[in-house]
């Protein structure tokens, strides 16, 4: 089922974001991805870790939905979590970087569409 694959892709994206924000934030790779200086990364690392934790909750919701099966309660969990991801992506795109729209919101919207179309 295409929806299952897309939900998995969105979960994987968010697991990667967790690692970037919670583990790699102050490293050269983390600074390169987010375009930050060493000084900014060091002073904001607690805030970044907090963001990472929230992204982890989004990944957990999608993983839970996938394990439960994308029917009944799993379907509801997937729809709810994907709507949360889309909302976070839209807010991030409006307030931080338009790139977030394409990294977070668009993949989640495609997964949601596939889920709603049952494909």
Query: Confidence class of residue 70 from pLDDT cuts 50, 70 and 90?
Result: confident
Model confidence at 72: pLDDT above 90: no
For the stretch 9-49, pLDDT in tens is 999 999 999 999 999 999 999 999 999 999 999 999 999 99
Tell me the Ramachandran region of residue 72: left when phi exceeds 0, alpha when psi lies from -120 to 50, beta otherwise: left
Question: What single-letter DSSP state applies at residue 27?
Answer: S
Question: Alpha-carbon distance 36 to 40, whole Å?
Answer: 6
The token pair that represents 74 in the structure block: 């799993």
Q: Three-class SS string for 56-109?
A: HHHHHHHHHHHHHCCCHHHHHHHHHHHHHHHHHHHHHHHHCCCHHHHHHHHHHH
Note the pLDDT of residue 1. Answer: 86
**Percent share of the chain, pLDDT over 70:** 100
């Amino acid at each position: 089922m295409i929806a299952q694959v897309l939900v998995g892709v969105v979960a994987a994206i968010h697991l990667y974001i967790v690692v970037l924000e919670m583990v790699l934030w102050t490293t050269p790779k983390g600074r390169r991805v987010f375009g930050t200086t060493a000084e900014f990364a060091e002073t904001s690392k607690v805030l970044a870790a907090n963001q990472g934790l929230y992204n982890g909750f989004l990944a957990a919701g999608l993983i839970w939905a996938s394990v439960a099966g994308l029917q009944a309660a799993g379907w509801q969990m997937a729809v709810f979590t994907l709507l949360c991801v889309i909302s976070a992506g839209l807010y991030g795109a409006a307030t931080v970087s338009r790139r977030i729209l394409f990294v977070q919101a668009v993949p989640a919207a495609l997964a949601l569409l596939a889920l709603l179309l049952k494909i």
